[in-house]
Amino acid sequence: MFNVDERIASSLPYLRVFYEVASCRSFTRAAERLHISQPAVTRQIKRLEAILGVSLFDRGSSPVQLTPAGRSLLGFVERSLSLLEEAHHLLESYREPTLKVGATRGYSKTTMPRILAGFQEENPKVRIVLSVDSSQGLERGVLEGVIDLAFLANPDHRRPLLFLPFREEELVCIASPSFVADLGERVSLADVVDYPFIVREKGSGTHKMVMEAFEAMGRKPKVLVEASSPEFIKEWVKAGKGLSIVTASSVEEEREEGKLRVLPIVEGLHLDVYVALLRGRRDEPLISAFLRYLGVR
C-alpha cells in the first residue's frame, strides 16, 4: 500500500471531465456527452487546473487545444482509464459470460454471422452482443470498454490498444453493368478518378484507404455522396449514379447475379483487418477462447 498525494486524490473526480473535453476538443460537446451544463464543465476544468497548478487548455483557439501539460496528462488519463476498464471486465468475467464484439457495417453482414454462429455453437453458454460502427468509432468503443474487441480496418496504431492481424481484404471498383461500357476488366485509379464516386463515410477504413490512394497520385475523386450504409452505396451504383471502391467480399453476391460489375484494381489496394482489444485483456478466458477460435494470437 502507499499514501496517495492529496492533490492526486482531489483531482480524481475531475479527470473524466478533462478526458471528455480533450477528446471532443469542445467544452460544449463534452457537456452534452456528460449530460451536465457547459458552465459546470468549465468550473470543473478550472478547479482541476487550480489543483494541479498548470493550464491544461488553450481556450483562445477553436477548436479547443491542449497545452503541453494537457497533452501529457491526457496520455496518463487514457492509460488509467484503460486499466480501470480491464479491471471492470475482469470482474464481469466472474458473472454470466458475455462477449461484446464490434464490427464495421460491411463486416457485420458478410463475415460476422458465420464467425459468431460458429463460436457460439462451440460455446453455447456465451451470450454475444454485436455492435456496429465505423473503424474510428470501434477503436473508441474498445478504449472506453463499451465493447471487448473489434474487427476494424487500417486502425490508428497510436491508440493504446493491441491490434492483432486477422486478414487482408481486397478492394475492388464496382459499377453498374450499363454505366461505363469503356472500362476494361481491370482498372487503374487513373482510369476512374474523373467519374462520380459514392464513398464510405469519414472514419471508415475504406474511406481512409481510398482517399489516401488518390492523394498519392495527386488527384481527388469527384465525390457525389458519402454514406455509412454499404447497401445504400451498392444501390446507388446499381442505379448508374457513379462508381465506388469496396471490399470484394461485400459484393460477391451481386457479382454472381450480374447486378454489378466488379473490377479488380491494378494498384492492388487492400485493407488490413485487425482484431483490436485492450492490451491487458488478451489472456482473459473468454477473449482468449475467441481469439483461439479465430486463429489469432
The CATH number of the domain where 131 resides is what? 3.40.190.10
Percent of the chain at pLDDT > 90 equals 55
Residue 103 scores a pLDDT above 90: yes
- Domain-located, residue 82: no
pLDDT value of position 215: 92
Q: Are residues 66 and 121 in the same domain?
A: no
What lies within 8 Å, CB to CB, of 203 at 6+ separation is 134, 135, 136, 137
Q: Are residues 150 and 218 in the same domain?
A: no
Report the CATH number at residue 34: 1.10.10.10
Report the 10 Å Cβ neighbour count for 210: 25
User: Pick from 108, 134, 279, 127: which is nearest to 206 by CA?
Assistant: 134
Q: Which three cell numbers stand for residue 160?
A: 493504446
Residue 200 scores a pLDDT above 60: yes
Q: Are residues 235 and 210 in the same domain?
A: yes
pTM for this model (two decimals): 0.61
What pLDDT band is residue 43 in, cutting at 50, 70 and 90?
very high
**Alpha helix positions (H), 93-144:** 105-110, 112-122, 135-144
- Domain-located, residue 131: yes
- Domain-located, residue 137: yes
Instruction: Tally the domains of the chain.
Output: 3
User: Pick from 232, 4, 24, 23: which is nearest to 246 by CA?
Assistant: 232
Q: Are residues 232 and 261 in the same domain?
A: yes
Q: Are residues 155 and 287 in the same domain?
A: yes
pLDDT value of position 5: 66
- In this prediction, residues 10-15 reach a mean pLDDT of 83
pLDDT value of position 69: 93
Q: Are residues 243 and 194 in the same domain?
A: yes
Between β-strands 149-153 and 222-227, what pairing exists: parallel, antiparallel or unpaired?
unpaired
Containing domain of residue 50, as a range?
6-73
Residue 1 scores a pLDDT above 60: no
